[in-house]
A and B are shown apart, each in its own frame.
Chain A
Amino acid sequence: MSFLYPAFLIAGVAIAVPIVLHLLRREVAPEVPFTAVRLLRRSPVPRRDRRRLRDLLLLAARVLALALLAAAFARPYVPSAAGAGLRVVAVDRSFSMSAPGRFERALEATRAAIAEAGAGERVAVIAFDERADVLAEPGSAADARHALQALAPGFGATRYRPGIEAALNLSPGGGRLVLVSDLTRTGWEDDQPVTVPADWAIDFRDVGDEAGNVAVAAVRREPDRLVAAIRNAGHAVFDGEVRADLEGRRVGQVRARVDPGATADVVVPVGVPAAGVLAVSIDDGGGFAADNTRYLALDPAARTRVLIVMAGGPGRPSGFFLARALEAADEAPEPAVVSMAGAEVSKLPPSGLADYGAVALLSTRGLDRPAREALGTFVRHGGGLFVAAAPDVEAALLSDALGWEPALAPAATADGVLALAATDLRHPIFEPFGALAANLGQVRFERVWRVQDGGWDVAARFDDGTPALLEREEGSGRVVLFASDVDRRWNDFPLHPSFVPFAVESIRYASGAVHAETEYTPATAPSGAGPHPGVFRLASGRLVTVNADARESSTTRMTPAEFQEMIRPGAATAAAAAPQAREAEAAQSYWRYGLLLMLAVLVGESIVGRSWS
């Protein structure tokens, strides 16, 4: 039994008050002034023993009531019922657990670990691979068992650290972690030992076995053939077919033989098409299913279609230089740049922007609210938005559409001629410029937006320090803001040779095409892809493949001792003890019982005092 506020126990000295009063008054009958004393007859005070017993009972009741009151204010709790009473069962759900019989053993071990929970011990269940999810918050064993129904092996790779850290976060004050895993060595790959507070105990339930695994570790396209790397992590020679399917149609097949522990490049004699999705697969009934097939996207890098929202009306339309710059860089026969006035954009269907990889916003004139909301949705779902400062762009409308806090509130100034300077030459927009980035300094900017950079990353500044090129992530998309005009009204940028690469790279960066990878693992898959292996087309039009992490195909396992070496005992979480104690005290609320008992004692005292007087 501990107390949250032990200082209140000092109030227990008040117990001395009734004791002192009892000692002072125990033999004295109170004086009562009266008149007809001559009619009274002296009588011995009877039943002295009974009175003494009554007095002792009353004294005990009063002392007990005061003690209970002081104890209630001190907020008692039982520490053992809190931290030590938590059992977290963390179950490995990486695809290595899909080996025949392995996950069934894991479930069995998990149920056993839950069943071992003592009376009153709370149980939580965590499933982990590269990330950890709490399937059952600390609660009853029945809830924990119920949560197992949703548990199945996934497609991720083993990472022990997220699972352990998730368990520690459940109860900073300590507990017992039961880790159910096949103890694959790759789970600690590239990871440092994890420090676990001393008030945590960790058990391992090794459900692994010596099962082998054969995986398609990699697929690469060569001009006239397809090469698949087959890794045999088993104990027997792999001698089987390697198949290549193009969008469901078998285009090649070859028999391969791979020795145990070896990786072999298998050439599949197939004329590799220019486009499509190739799936290379093997049969491995005794290993992990997720790595038996590997996908390869054969599509050329998708061109980024760009919609230029320009100012309509008579005269020279805006966006002329930008459109020419983008078209100059596009060698495809079909135009990838479309220019529309705001009013025309407003007439597009809600999903009309989905056909574009990026939108260059040079005017907000004519954009109605649905169009602005569609623009915000487009960006948040992965689209790119390039905004150039222009007289026709109303920053308030843009902030409203994208929900920016604080709202964009630029001030257009013309304080002399400014020059542009890239802040970071390694930035994807300026990296292609190389040493020629200095040429940007030749551009004369006569009018710019002065933008507060709160919420933005600055990629380039004017020579007076004002942000010139800013960017920010918005949902899955990206916004690039150029703080001056691209129509030669505020500067002479379009007349400079550096304008074309600047425009192309800015639009490409906004659309995400600059760092467009085509192959992901389930853990790194972008929004709209995964989390299982396969081929996916993103909202930006990019075709990506998601393949199982090849490292997880390894069957190398750790011994519990080796695993234990990765667990470093740390100090007890003293800092967390106070909140833990408060949590335990709040959960137990023994002080309420103390006060109720005190009331009961006082009622009893009253009854004894009245009935025996």
Chain B
Amino acid sequence: MAESTGARDLTFLDPAVLARLGTMELKARTVVEGFLAGLHRSPYKGFSVEFAEYRQYIPGDDLSMLDWKVYARSDRHYVRKSEEETNVECHLLVDLSASMGYRGSAPMSKLDYGSVLAASLAFLMHRQRDATGLITFDERIAFRLPASARPGHLQTVLLALGRIEQGTRSDVARPLHQLAEALVKRSLVVLISDLLDDPEPIVKGLKHLKFRGTDVIVFQVLDPNELTFPFRGPARFRDLESQQEITAEPSEIRATYLRDLAGLTLHYDRALRGAGIDYVQLDTSQPLDFALLAYLAARSRRK
């Protein structure tokens, strides 16, 4: 698996930089290329044993993959590329609910951040020749793109992510159950949501997917304001989905809020990890590489 990214230049993964880029494709390409350029080892070592083709060696490739016989004949370095035994079918589930449209002190809203994350994953999947599908939802499925590995499919996915619009209330569990029923082969499902609904139905839906033999990665996308609650002075907090209002003195409720949030996170973590589901919490002010590494780790377990 790839090594730590701690010492890498993450300039092009920074949300503040990404927010200024134009198209979704450019954002996704920037993230993925930047991410891959920083890895010391190529993530593309074969997940299969069946030879597919030779490829020119590029720095970062595992030296064990070099074909020394070819080198002896041609005096050039080639690596052997393997055909995967089975193409993985990946489904990206992006939450469109109003709460995902929240943008506090981060340079991007949670929805934008999640969209770029989904696009980057699609880009990465496409390079790995995985079939990629996209589902966007709020309280119902808003858009669905079946998984495909066709060459032009990536553009379709990126176009859909670029045109994404914020929805209303969220109901994460519902599309999860619908998807679990619809999947007929083992797949990889990536859920991108803030998971601020009632956790039990969500966990139940995710477990339903897992029960159907689907690998699941859950990215909980949260804004720094949600993680730290930095508000000062009396305020009237209005919920973006339910429009519920609560007037409070932030300094008085900050500790309680953070404790409840930590409890919610812990609940997800325990419930999902117990079910063999990867759970990653993301801060929209932080670079995307952590999410990509988490995906690669999950993907590698499927070889």
Which residues in A have some Cβ–Cβ distance to B below 8 Å? 29-46, 51, 613
Contact = CB atoms under 8 A, between A and B. Distances in A.
Contacts of A33: 102, 237-238, 240
A38 B241 CA distance: 11
A35 B226 contact: yes
Given A29-B235, A45-B234, A38 B196 contact: yes
A40 B261 contact: no
B249 A36 contact: no
B239 A34 contact: yes
The 5 nearest A-B residue pairs measured at CB: A37-B239, A35-B99, A29-B234, A45-B234, A43-B248
Contact of B248 (A38, A45, A613): A45
Contacts of A30: 233-236
Given A31-B245, A33-B237, A39-B260, 6 more contacts: A34-B226, A35-B194, A36-B99, A37-B237, A40-B253, A613-B232
Given A31-B236, A32-B238, A38-B239, A46 B252 contact: yes
A42 B240 contact: no
A468 B102 CA distance: 100
B265 to A, nearest CB: 11
Contact of A34 (B232, B240, B249, B264): B240
B235 A36 contact: no
A34 B236 CA distance: 10
Contacts of B231: 32
B247 A35 contact: no
Contacts of B260: 39
Nearest to A31: B236
A33 B236 CA distance: 8
A46 B253 CA distance: 11
Contacts of A31: 235-236, 238, 245
A184 to B, nearest CB: 83
Contacts of B87: none
A40 B252 contact: no
A41 B246 CA distance: 7
Given A29-B236, A40-B237, A613-B233, A35 B102 contact: yes
Contacts of A36: 99, 196, 226, 257, 261
Interface residues of B, number: 32
A438 B252 CA distance: 116
Nearest to A612: B233
Contacts of B261: 36, 39
Contact of B102 (A34, A40, A51, A613): A34
B244 interface: yes
Contacts of B232: 613
Residue from the set B236, B242, B261 with the largest chain A CB neighbour count within 10 Å? B236
Contacts of A46: 249, 252
B256 interface: yes
Contacts of A40: 237, 246, 248, 253, 257
11 contacts: A29-B234, A29-B247, A30-B236, A32-B231, A32-B235, A34-B102, A34-B226, A35-B99, A35-B102, A37-B239, A38-B196
A613 B249 CA distance: 10
Given A40-B248, A42-B246, A34 B237 contact: yes
A39 B261 CA distance: 7
A33 to B, nearest CB: 5
B238 A37 contact: yes
Interface string B238-278: 11111011111100110011001100100000000000000
B234 A51 contact: yes
Contacts of A38: 196, 239, 242, 244
A386 to B, nearest CB: 91
A540 to B, nearest CB: 93
A46 B233 CA distance: 10
A44 B247 CA distance: 7
Contacts of A32: 231, 235-238
A165 B241 CA distance: 87
Residue from the set A36, A42, A45 with the largest chain B CB neighbour count within 10 Å? A36
A51 B235 CA distance: 13
A329 to B, nearest CB: 105
Interface string B204-228: 0000000000000000000101100
A39 B264 contact: yes
A42 B252 CA distance: 10
A36 B264 CA distance: 11
A87 to B, nearest CB: 60
B253 to A, nearest CB: 5
A36 B257 CA distance: 9
